[in-house]
Amino acid sequence: MKTLIVSCSLHAASKSRQLAGELESFWRSNDAIEVATLDLRSLGLPPCDGGPSYAHPATEQLQSAFTEADAVVFAVPIYNYDINSAAKNAIELAGRQLTDKVAGFLCAAGGHRSYMSVMAAANSLMLDFRTIIIPRFVYAGGDDIPDGGELNDEIRKRVAQFGEEFLRLARAIHAA
């Protein structure tokens, strides 16, 4: 089973990218899964315009990455009680390639009060594309990952729990 971890932050010192790196390290250390990564900063995606943007080479690269994956994890920053616009744009441009696939979320936010912010994107994926959303996700507030610092042990534990549950459910669904 091939799983894609998508780092959706466009910030150079991204905390959600740290969460993605932790999950990738966890999975690679256990040889648990075939892991691929994609950083949206490297793609230069056009804004979704409902037309020509779908034929842009970067969009086609994203669509191909989603198509090749059996499951996808989105590592997203939370801005203003929602996932960032780069993640939304990626879903708008290539969400159709997530039909009947498994997806999950790792979230980094400035505070602790927007922990349900991923639900709008999850609902859209479920309803628009029949993506199967893993019910566990990781939410790390501002003090869980200090600026320029390491993930704390609690967040590492939650990422490992997420990784184990994601694999268990994705394998069961993929095998069905």
Domain locations along the chain: 2-175
- DSSP code of 148? T
Q: How confident is the model at residue 44 (pLDDT cuts 50, 70, 90)?
A: very high
Q: Averaged over 68-97, what is the pLDDT?
A: 96
When pLDDT is averaged across residues 73-91 and rounded to a whole number, the result is 95
Instruction: Tell me: pLDDT of 95 over 80.
Output: yes
From the options 3.40.50.300, 3.90.870.10, 3.50.50.60, 3.40.50.360, give the CATH code of 2-175.
Answer: 3.40.50.360
> Element (H or E) spanning 164, and its range?
helix 153-175
Instruction: Give yes or no for a contact between 134 and 169, defined as CB atoms under 8 angstroms apart.
Output: yes
Average pLDDT over residues 123-131: 96
State residue 30's pLDDT score.
79
